[in-house]
Structure 1
Amino acid sequence: MSPSAIETVPTGTNNWWKEATIYQVYPASFKDSNGDGWGDILGVIEKVPYLHSLGVDVVWLSPMYDSPMHDMGYDISDYENVLPAYGTVADIEKLIDECHKHGMRLILDLVVNHTSDQHKWFQESRSSKGNPKRDWYFWRPPRYDAYGNRMPPTNYRGYFAGSTWTWDEHTQEYYLHLYAKEQPDLNWDNEVTRKAIYDSAIRFWLDKGVDGFRVDTVNKYSKHTDFPDAPITDPKSFIQPAIGMWCNGPRIHEFLREMYDEALEPYGDVVTVGELANTPDPAHVLKYVSAAEKQLSMVFHLDIGHIGMGHSLEDKYILQPWELTEMKSIVNKWQTFIEGTDGWTTAFCENHDNGRSVSRFASDAPEFREVSAKMLALMMVAMTGTLSIYQGQEIGMINAPREWSIDEYKDIEGLGYYREAQNQVASGVDPTREKRIMDGLRILARDHARLPMQWDDSPEAGFTTGKPWMRTHDLYRDINVKKQEADPDSVLSFWKKVLRLRKDYRQLFIHGKFEVLDFENLETFCFVKSRGEKRALVVLNFTGIEQPCSQAEMAAGMKLLASNYSECSSSQRLRPYEGRIYVSDKS
């Protein structure tokens, strides 16, 4: 598909992806076409008309590559093939065509910080110390303590609990993996490795017509390759948090600029959305997304997904109380940092790595569930930048029931934390940790986003005719697409309406300047979007009780554009989880 005509907008050049709404599909859980319990590409193709009717512009397909599936496809064994349970390369080509026929684009997940340990590159690398691909990954000899015990090369703690190093008996060295031991990290410092990545993971799919990539773990390619030990912050443990050793490393911007120049730019206006963690300085983030830097189109800042999580890697799933000012600070930071620059930003509150937004940020109680989902929708459609929504968000899907046991959870990360907690309880190190981790997983676990999509009220929510790989939510008969498509007041119908409004008022919502109005207020979130003389006022009640509308005087001179209550109100008080958007008459 050719890029849309270039035009100038308040934020500079209007690339096609700036005004797009992205819809993330998690293929294992979206739609199963053959009854084997796994979602597949043919199932996605079947639902392309539905996605088009929703009003989205881009389908982001989470990893569908061939994989042993230790980490749900983020452990890739072949970049140029599709997991047989999902389908074939030909199926992806058909999906590209179907998206394009409906005026939508397709982007894939680009996972090139690591591969699977079953990838042919790693199989060669571990075959011998003299193999030409040995240096495509990070291999290091052991070190020994004072008693002669073999130890890993460094004291780094990985993301999935445990050390970042695994011993290879065959070659008598350790290899590095920031995630699972089945996900060895690629050595981007090796130029030959980078060229192979560009050919196999990027050009192969761009040649087939994909329109870009969501770029996984984008700031972790450049490590401090002298591998110093991390500072000791937990005296009780050998392994220590070490994020600073691999996030935003010394050559990261060099690598991304090369990837853009060599593998992306030749294909035109290809979109890249980087997953950016642990980069709190907006000035540094701007280096990634500045048009002049030619690295990434935009990034997903992960801060909003971290609300309620522990403040360190080892305590990630220890649930923390939070106040609305934390969300306001995060939203304000990443909404405002591009103003007056040539950078671009994103807006999202759900993805495959976090619990459902209704359950985390509002209320999934039956009496508040729908109005909460609509309130969050109002907040999101008014945000500056490219909007991304996650499958099921448009019908207000919620977290798994709290009474589900750990046996229903599948995610490698959450289970790793839970088993680590069990060991700490058994050893007497922390008798309460298992319960505290489970309490956190009930709200924060990645599993909540991975429950099967709820299409209708038939068995297994219409996701499959077989046994689903993951348990279907108990409330699927109440929360499903079929039920909501027939209801003009449903969450789904509301999303369709407000996505149209986002396009109608694009200069304010997509390109507008953001300003928080009531930062210290712990119950309501009010902000203004403006561009020139045009203004929009957004007022949101984040509580289950009526609240005064502190911006009532400002709203009095404006037109009510949207509300999440079917009975619109001009009251100076906001009902439970009520949201409203006002616009000035000049808009």
Structure 2
Amino acid sequence: MTAIDNTAIRPDEAIDRDWWRGCVIYQIYPRSFQDSNGDGIGDLAGIVQRLPYIASLGVDAIWISPFFTSPMKDFGYDVSDYCDVDPMFGTLADFDTLVDTAHRLGVRVLIDLVVSHTSDQHPWFKESRSSRHNPKSDWYVWSNSKPDGTAPSNWLSVFGGPAWQWDTKREQYYMHNFLVEQPDLNFHNPDVQNAVLNVAKFWLEKGVDGFRLDTLNFYFHDDQLRSNPVMPEEFRTDICAPKVNPYNYQEHKYDRNRPEMFGFLQRFRALLDEYNATSVGEVGDGQRGLEIIGEYTSGNDKVHMCYAFDMLSSERPTAQRLAEIFERSESAVAGGWLCWAFSNHDCKRHTSRWNLSHQAQSLLTSFMMSARGSACIYQGEELALEEADVAFEDLQDPYGISFWPEFAGRDGCRTPMVWDGSNQHAGFSTAPRTWLPVSDAHRQKSPETMEKAQGAILHHYRRAIAFRHAHPALMKGDYQDIAVDGSVLSFIRVLNGQQVFCAFNLSDSAAEVTMPTGAWQTIGTELGGAVAAGGQTVGLDPWQPAFAARQTT
């Protein structure tokens, strides 16, 4: 492993209060990152053990998926105590050690805040369901049935079936956008908003640098409980749910994306600003995703940035498609900020999803680190890990079990990380059996192996991240001259007189790009970039980039 200077200090926030613009975030799925105690499940102490490796990538921050106390019906996204660590992951003291270690390595810490819903085992819900008149009776979304006993609206759960569950204690329905065991909080209630803000403050006081806000656009529902209209077939997408899921059949006009959201976001942002902390909102919407992101991130008084789904789709990126995404984002998110990702814990790994060669994976990594917005990479992405094959009998994800075999669920992207060749579980765990099996196909791509291979994608990720940090225009600059010429996408990033020209041949065939005129200097040859001179036509090999820079003031 690359040696790390453990004396590295946390960046001076007083100098760069918008450190989050253009930052690179490394997502950790804690169950599958590193097991420190031999129980077959990753934990916080395991993350601490691997923080030097993460820091060696050059990332600015980590995002840790949920580790709170939970019955684990949805593997931590069903929280029963927001202010404690589930024993399978460790203790609050372990979390303190994690934050301190990360900060010494110059890495900020973001955690996943899952507050659109709780577990049905949360004390709030237990009290709420106990009667119709207790102090928390209105903390969740409850409704009487229609006169015929059916649910109050046609709303559907993302995980299949109706979004309403009958409760025999209250003789009412409660809403759940996901599992039946994940009842939705009622954000129309000011007490709920205050409780959520207190949870955020608890973790800010413990030193976290911000939050990834799970299912942000699901927080509020229509208080009249109006039924959703039908989604025309031609607009149904699989971004939020697989095509076999009838959730796609509705235009989700009333069960998410509600205008009441803005007042709460302003309260949340005011709290974050007190701590110079950031926020990354997850906004899943196959039709208006970028437009909603623009609304949620505009004006410097709501969410700092939002996680875009456009590059998480199954549609393979082409020059034309990427240009269209950029042009839409420039229009829809002009006053806000995006966070891009190719992979995460909820979707098929992009190496498999797009069937990428080594050259294509490298080019797309360089592209990601050149795009306007922040960047999020998912654990193992830097090793070019493919989607793992998980047998039905080994599945853990309730989503996949429900829709098998047409949709295999999310376990294939959640299998344990491989680290070395030290044992049967590739350094992840010493347990006889791990919570999901280690992929045999992954074993040859461990960091131990990659470090020794000169052309390994791991080294390219380090170089691409360093390249981004070396050029402020790539971190925080605007776009100029987004253009497509055949298979080549090109654009210029501009900041304070610095201009960086970027071109990408997204093709298995050779191509050409004409450089803009002027005194441009070739950069990015460490990323395999072609030598580029101002005003000249530059030949690009398949999946080759070209970069050049100049200072105009």
Bucket of the pairwise TM-score, normalised by the shorter protein: 0.7 to 0.9
Whole-Å separation in 2 of the counterparts to 1:70 and 1:554: 58
CA RMSD of aligned residues (A): 2.9
Q: Secondary structure at the match of 1:518?
A: strand
Letter aligned with residue 290 of structure 1 = S
Q: How does 1:7-22 map to 2 (within 5 A)?
A: 15-22=18-25
Whole-Å separation in 1 of the counterparts to 2:385 and 2:246: 40
Aligned position for 1:540: 504
Whole-Å separation in 2 of the counterparts to 1:254 and 1:87: 36
Letter aligned with residue 430 of structure 2 = T
Does the C-alpha gap of structure 1 residues 532 and 91 become closer, same or farther in structure 2, counting only changes over 3 Å? closer
Whole-Å separation in 2 of the counterparts to 1:24 and 1:120: 29
Checking the alignment, whether the CA contact within 8 Å between 2:370 and 2:468 is kept in structure 1 is yes
Q: Does 1:260 align with 2:224?
A: no
1:483-517 deviation line (CA, Å, top 9, x unaligned)? 11223321111111121111111224542425431
TM-fit CA distance, 1:291: 4.2
Whole-Å separation in 1 of the counterparts to 2:317 and 2:368: 20
Q: Secondary structure at the match of 1:95?
A: helix
Q: How does 1:35-46 map to 2 (within 5 A)?
A: 35-46=38-49
Letter aligned with residue 448 of structure 2 = K
Q: Secondary structure at the match of 2:225?
A: coil
TM-fit CA distance, 1:127: 1.3
Aligned position for 1:410: 396
Aligned position for 1:229: 227
Aligned position for 2:324: 329
The match for 1:583 among 540, 548, 552 is: 548
1:231-251 deviation line (CA, Å, top 9, x unaligned)? 24599x998625211222131
Q: Does 1:295 align with 2:295?
A: no
Does the C-alpha gap of structure 1 residues 531 and 487 become closer, same or farther in structure 2, counting only changes over 3 Å? same
Aligned position for 2:154: 155
Checking the alignment, whether the CA contact within 8 Å between 2:530 and 2:545 is kept in structure 1 is no
The match for 2:203 among 205, 217, 221 is: 205
Whole-Å separation in 2 of the counterparts to 1:138 and 1:512: 42
Q: How many residues align?
A: 524
The match for 1:500 among 453, 458, 466 is: 466
Checking the alignment, whether the CA contact within 8 Å between 1:484 and 1:490 is kept in structure 2 is yes
Letter aligned with residue 76 of structure 1 = V
Whole-Å separation in 1 of the counterparts to 2:519 and 2:11: 45
TM-fit CA distance, 1:217: 1.3
TM-fit CA distance, 1:555: 11
Q: Secondary structure at the match of 1:106?
A: strand
Checking the alignment, whether the CA contact within 8 Å between 1:457 and 1:476 is kept in structure 2 is no
Q: Secondary structure at the match of 1:134?
A: coil
Q: Secondary structure at the match of 1:537?
A: strand
1:41-81 deviation line (CA, Å, top 9, x unaligned)? 00000011111111111111110001111112110000011
Q: Secondary structure at the match of 1:245?
A: coil
Letter aligned with residue 412 of structure 2 = H
Letter aligned with residue 579 of structure 1 = Q
Whole-Å separation in 1 of the counterparts to 2:540 and 2:67: 44
Checking the alignment, whether the CA contact within 8 Å between 2:213 and 2:281 is kept in structure 1 is yes
Q: Secondary structure at the match of 2:442?
A: coil
Aligned position for 1:375: 363
Does the C-alpha gap of structure 1 residues 270 and 40 become closer, same or farther in structure 2, counting only changes over 3 Å? same
Q: Unmatched 5+ residue regions in structure 2?
A: 1-9, 234-244
Checking the alignment, whether the CA contact within 8 Å between 2:530 and 2:544 is kept in structure 1 is no
Does the C-alpha gap of structure 1 residues 530 and 116 become closer, same or farther in structure 2, counting only changes over 3 Å? same
Letter aligned with residue 351 of structure 1 = N
TM-fit CA distance, 1:19: 4.1
Aligned position for 1:318: none
Whole-Å separation in 2 of the counterparts to 1:21 and 1:532: 21
Aligned position for 2:447: 481
Q: Secondary structure at the match of 2:444?
A: coil
Checking the alignment, whether the CA contact within 8 Å between 2:463 and 2:527 is kept in structure 1 is no
1:204-249 deviation line (CA, Å, top 9, x unaligned)? 11111111101111122221111112224599x9986252112221
Identity of aligned residues (%): 31
Aligned position for 1:390: 378
Letter aligned with residue 502 of structure 2 = V
Q: Unmatched 5+ residue regions in structure 1?
A: 8-13, 309-320, 419-433
Whole-Å separation in 1 of the counterparts to 2:525 and 2:333: 27
Q: Does 1:119 align with 2:128?
A: no
Whole-Å separation in 1 of the counterparts to 2:246 and 2:548: 57
Letter aligned with residue 165 of structure 1 = W
Whole-Å separation in 2 of the counterparts to 1:180 and 1:160: 6
Aligned position for 1:448: 412
The match for 2:524 among 561, 565, 579 is: 561
Whole-Å separation in 1 of the counterparts to 2:138 and 2:94: 35
Does the C-alpha gap of structure 1 residues 322 and 407 become closer, same or farther in structure 2, counting only changes over 3 Å? farther
Q: Secondary structure at the match of 1:160?
A: coil
Checking the alignment, whether the CA contact within 8 Å between 1:335 and 1:345 is kept in structure 2 is no
Aligned position for 2:337: 344
Does the C-alpha gap of structure 1 residues 493 and 52 become closer, same or farther in structure 2, counting only changes over 3 Å? same
Q: Does 1:107 align with 2:113?
A: no
Does the C-alpha gap of structure 1 residues 557 and 394 become closer, same or farther in structure 2, counting only changes over 3 Å? same
TM-fit CA distance, 1:551: 3.8
Aligned position for 2:388: 400
Q: Secondary structure at the match of 2:112?
A: strand
Aligned position for 1:172: 171
Does the C-alpha gap of structure 1 residues 449 and 171 become closer, same or farther in structure 2, counting only changes over 3 Å? same
The match for 1:529 among 479, 493, 496 is: 493
Checking the alignment, whether the CA contact within 8 Å between 2:43 and 2:90 is kept in structure 1 is yes
TM-fit CA distance, 1:562: 3.1
TM-fit CA distance, 1:120: 0.5
Letter aligned with residue 140 of structure 1 = S
1:88-110 deviation line (CA, Å, top 9, x unaligned)? 11111111111111122111111
Aligned position for 1:424: none
Aligned position for 1:353: 346
Checking the alignment, whether the CA contact within 8 Å between 2:24 and 2:59 is kept in structure 1 is yes
TM-fit CA distance, 1:563: 5.8
TM-score relative to the length of structure 2? 0.87
Aligned position for 2:82: 79
Whole-Å separation in 1 of the counterparts to 2:480 and 2:398: 38
